[in-house]
Structure 1
Amino acid sequence: MITHIEGKLVEKNPTDVVIDCNGVGYFINISLHTFAQIPDQENLKLYTYLHVREDAQSLYGFSSKSEREIFKLLISVSGIGTNTARTMLSSLSPDQIKEGIAGGDVALIQSVKGIGIKTAQRVIIDLKDKVLKVYGLDELSITTNNTGKDEALSALDVLGFNKKQSEKVVEKILQTQPDASVEQIIKEALKNL
């Protein structure tokens, strides 16, 4: 398997890139998350996953090993193909997917276009134990943080703040203060919005 490709960035699109590696151009499918992480520099390294089917071979690229592992876990679930997994990683960050699965957040997983309630439930049932074990997450802290984060975002939305901007600010707050209460998150967010 090809584990990574490093070379000259020839073409960059929201869904794919072309990397020239010693005269050979590799067409690599990417998520919007990876697209946002790619710097506009000539040299680029992506961690890859080669998906082989009877009629095609497709190369998928990721900005981090963590994102690649989440992708591999997602495609191991019945009903989740490579395109659906890529859509999930385009709609949610790898951390959001990990936390959503670990916390049993069906609504978060279902918020991805093309994912119904049964598929979202299957993803959580199939992957919850693996995510908790592989990433060493504590189920209780994930659930608590998820609830506090959601409540804070809901409150900021009611106050009229931009949803995407609020999410970024709340994410930063939770990275520095993971045990912050809903009130603390809102107070800190108001200072930064």
Structure 2
Amino acid sequence: MISHIHGKLVEKNPTDVVIDCNGVGYFLNISLHTYSQIPDQENLKLYTQLLVKEDSHTLYGFSSIAERDMFRLLISVSGIGAGTARTMLSSLTPKQVREGIAKEDVALIQSIKGIGVKTAQRVIIDLKDKVLKIYDIDEVSVSTSNTNKDEALSALEVLGFVKKQAERAVDKIVKAEPDASVETIIKQALKNL
């Protein structure tokens, strides 16, 4: 119903903001991740999700479409309400949540306040296929964070290579040589692409 709100930032708190849009002040609930992304300037645009319940209409604001999409996926899981989803996105970045689900990292999801083992498992079971499909993640490419790998991937993308092919090539190199430098990864990937 309301896709985004663009206006003057009137009030900024770690859990909510008020945006004045043509004389109307919109109260938006936000995550700590969004709070950290909000610049200290007057004009602000947040992507929104309106949740309508019998007794309330609640507006949630997000700094990126990716965060809003992750919020929508999370609230689609039975037992995960808007408050829990917001807590998840406050404790972890949308990318960390996405990777935790893709890697089936129950401990990571369970580390969030208010989420037990069964809820963490349900989140992973319900969302893993959707996350892999929506974000075009290969199960092979779901690996631990490696900054050299990430830098090499972004360099290859800048050079015009397709992300999925570049990831496959880089994953093979990193698997064989986990401590490879960015330059080494790029050089070897260029030979294989």
Is the partner of 2:114 in helix, strand or coil?
Answer: coil
Is the partner of 1:96 in helix, strand or coil?
Answer: helix
Q: Partner residue of 1:183? A: 179
For residues 134-171 of structure 1, give each alpha carbon's deviation from its aligned partner in whole angstroms, at most 9, with x where no partner exists.
111011211xx22xx3xxxxxxxxxxxxxxxxxxxx6x
Residues 69-80 of structure 1: pairs in structure 2 closer than 5 A? 69-80=69-80
Deviation at 1:105, TM superposition (A): 0.8
Structure with the largest fraction of helix: 1
Q: Which residue identity is paired with 1:70?
A: M
Between the two proteins, the alignment pairs up a number of residues equal to 160
Q: Partner residue of 1:159? A: none
Structure 2, unaligned runs of 5 or more: 154-170, 182-193
Determine whether 1:31 maps to 2:38: no
C-alpha RMSD over aligned residues = 1.5
Runs of 4+ aligned structure 1 residues displaced above 4 Å come to 178-182
Structure 1, unaligned runs of 5 or more: 150-169, 186-193
Distance 1:36 1:173, change over 3 A: farther
Q: Which residue identity is paired with 1:86?
A: R
Q: Partner residue of 2:131? A: 131
**Higher alpha-carbon Rg:** 2
Deviation at 1:175, TM superposition (A): 2.7
For residues 71-118 of structure 1, give each alpha carbon's deviation from its aligned partner in whole angstroms, at most 9, with x where no partner exists.
000000000000000000001110111111111111111111111010
Identity %: 70
Q: Partner residue of 1:41? A: 41
Residues 16-165 of structure 1: pairs in structure 2 closer than 5 A? 16-142=16-142, 145-146=143-144, 149=145
Determine whether 1:7 maps to 2:7: yes
CA distance in 1, matches of 2:178, 2:35: 32
Q: Which residue identity is paired with 1:183?
A: D
TM-score (norm 2): 0.79
Deviation at 1:174, TM superposition (A): 4.6
Deviation at 1:184, TM superposition (A): 4.6
Is the partner of 2:47 in helix, strand or coil?
Answer: strand
CA distance in 1, matches of 2:50, 2:102: 27
Distance 1:105 1:43, change over 3 A: same
CA distance in 2, matches of 1:93, 1:104: 16
CA distance in 1, matches of 2:83, 2:117: 18
